[in-house]
Structure 1
Amino acid sequence: MKKVLLFGAFFAFLGFASFAQSAEEDVVTDEDLTKYANVEVMTSTYVENKTEELRNMILNNEVIDGGARYNEIKAAWGDEAKMAEAEVTEEEKAAYQAIKDFQDSLQDSVKEYKTELIMDDEILGAGTYNKVLAATKEDPAVKEKLDTMIAEMKAKQDAEKEDTAEATDGK
């Protein structure tokens, strides 16, 4: 009988040990939050860069000749009568379509970029991503802490950009 009790106690101990280890793995550390926040900031920066690239495609397009003409073509796009009224040329159609294709691909591009960051264990890792995401949904304090970290990282990044711009302008 003693052996049965010892055997049962041993398995109970193993069960509690694995439960404690599982609970420890679910704890979100500051390092986890920092990695997650870093991915959010990197993704935000990527979006800003792609948005600036799109803006430059529109403003610096030799065929469309700037934002006003782009907006005029955009308003007429898809309506042949409006396109004829706006006197949109074949060259302008092709240039507008290239810009539109780039714009349409942005969402997929951002999704692919962020997925690569998440899947890279050195940057974040899928396990950490899922753990932090679950914690932010369960605990508003974790969400608030993460949001604060992201805001601080973005502010620091913006300050560094301004310092770099000022140093470049001064030369």
Structure 2
Amino acid sequence: MKKLMLFGALFAFVGLASYAQEAAEAVTDEDLQKYANVEVMTSNYVDAKTEELRNMILNNEVIDGGARYNEIKAAWGDEAKMAEANVTEEEKAAFQAVKDFQDALQGSVKDYKTELIMDDEILGAGTYNKVLAATKDDPAVKEKLDKMIEEMKSAQAAETDNVAEEDGSEG
């Protein structure tokens, strides 16, 4: 009987401990807002870097625009095709510079997002992990987060459009 009581007490304690832990891990709207902000900031960073890459290709005086870039890209790594396309050493160097930038983008984005996550004032690793776990465990939390991100992006786009209209330019 004593063992049964001990087992019952232990079971109740474990149940309360897991309930307390679950309650402590509850995700707040503020947590979701911070997480969404990091996602939007990262998306903006990716957009800016993608635009930078696009400009590197389109405004490259050596490669002379996207069509030549695509031609070099199709021949890249095949010496016969490179010779057939008359790719110069200068074009090879310019293409390689663009390719190096492109290859570094994934690491750059990862580093940027990691910095945001690790900054306790922006998000913090604990909050990041808590929200990430909640989105995996509860589809409603994931849906709410996705909606927040979409609303933030829409608000940002509307703000950009308003600024462009005020400047008399197009956004």
TM-score bracket, shorter-length normalisation = 0.7 to 0.9
Q: Percent identity?
A: 76
How many residues end up aligned between the 2 structures? 161
Residue 22 of structure 1 deviates from its aligned partner by 2.8
**Deviation by residue 1:74-123 (Cα, 9 ceiling, x = unmatched):** 00000000000100011100000000000000000000000000000000
Counterpart in 2 of 1:146? 145
Structure 1 residue aligned with 2:72:
73
Match of 1:27 in 2: 26
**1:79-158, aligned counterparts within 5 Å?**
79-158=78-157
Q: CA deviation at 1:18?
A: 6.3
Following superposition of structure 1 onto structure 2, how do residues 33-52 of structure 1 map, counting pairs within 5 Å?
Answer: 33-52=32-51
In the alignment, structure 2 segments of 5+ residues that lack a partner are 1-8
After superposition, give the CA deviation of every residue in 1:111-155 in whole Å (9 maximum; x if it has no partner): 000000000000000000000000000000000000000000000
In structure 1, the residue corresponding to 2:27 is in which secondary structure?
coil
C-alpha deviation, 1:169, in angstroms? 2.3
TM-score (norm 1): 0.87
The two structures have a TM-score, normalised by structure 2, of 0.87
How many angstroms apart in 1 are the aligned matches of 2:107 and 2:122? 20
State the alpha-carbon separation in 2 of the partners of residues 124 and 17 from structure 1. 29
The letter of the residue matching 2:168 is D
Letter in 2 for 1:144: E
**Gap runs ≥5 in structure 1:** 1-8
Query: Structure 1 residue 161: deviation in Å?
Result: 1.0
Partner of 2:159: 160
- One-letter identity of the residue aligned with 2:44: T
Distance change in 2, residues 1:137/1:17 (3 Å): closer
Residue number in structure 2 paired with 1:6: none
Aligned-pair Cα RMSD in Å = 2.1
Matches within 5 A, 1:50-61: 50-61=49-60
Deviation at 1:168, TM superposition (A): 2.0
Q: 2:108 is matched by which residue type in structure 1?
A: S
Alignment partners' CA distance in 1, 2:121 and 2:135: 22
